Chains A and B, each alone.
Chain A
């Protein structure tokens, strides 16, 4: 009954450091997404993967890269973290089409 699992839950980085946020889903969904949530701005799409082997940019892709490792896993990488990337990051998955998205519990990232 795991759903969407994100790791880590919390992280503090120094400016310029790199890190990878991991996401895995066990619902056999085709589509996966990375969002960031900032106060007063709702959730904004960073990257998405419509199916295994494909990735596309969302609204705010700059400073991020993604990898759809297989159908279950979709990782988000920050190559050189900046304070502007301080945010809460959510991974989500869904079937293709207009069904609901399932979200992980989020990663709270602080870049100092």
Chain B
């Protein structure tokens, strides 16, 4: 079946530190991979995505590369800011039945301190 395993949190970093949040997946086919971010009191927003192996998604200084050989999609940012404090979800999409079903990891809470 489809599943996503995400690095347990919470993660606390100082401003300007390097961030890595690990994500690995299991999929029956060739899924698309996503990182969503949830700021306090809000819904989820797409942060970045990759639709095939070796694609790199990037947005707002965050990057993740779709690695089929290691079934991973780790999120990285070179220098985090206080405003990056949020919960980050790794997800994959399953294209069965023509629907874009999303399978989510458990989320990683990031807190960035000044």
Contact = CB atoms under 8 A, between A and B. Distances in A.
Do A and B share a complex? yes
Interface string B42-72: 1111100101000000000000000000000
Contact of B100 (A56, A58, A94): A94
A33 interface: yes
Nearest to A88: B43
B95 A90 contact: no
B45 A103 contact: yes
A50 interface: yes
Given A97-B95, A98-B32, A98-B51, A45 B44 contact: no
Contacts of A101: 44, 46, 100, 102
Contacts of A92: 44, 102
Interface residues of A, number: 31
A53 interface: no
Interface residues of B, number: 28
Interface in A46-93: 48-51, 56, 58, 90, 92
Nearest to B45: A103
Nearest to A102: B46
A95 B89 CA distance: 20
Interface in B1-48: 4, 6, 31-32, 34, 36, 41-46
A31 interface: yes
A104 B38 CA distance: 11
16 contacts: A31-B99, A35-B104, A40-B106, A42-B6, A43-B104, A44-B104, A45-B102, A56-B97, A98-B31, A98-B100, A100-B46, A103-B36, A103-B45, A104-B43, A105-B43, A106-B43
Interface of B: 4, 6, 31-32, 34, 36, 41-46, 49, 51, 89, 93, 95, 97-107
Interface of A: 4, 31, 33, 35, 40-45, 48-51, 56, 58, 90, 92, 94-106
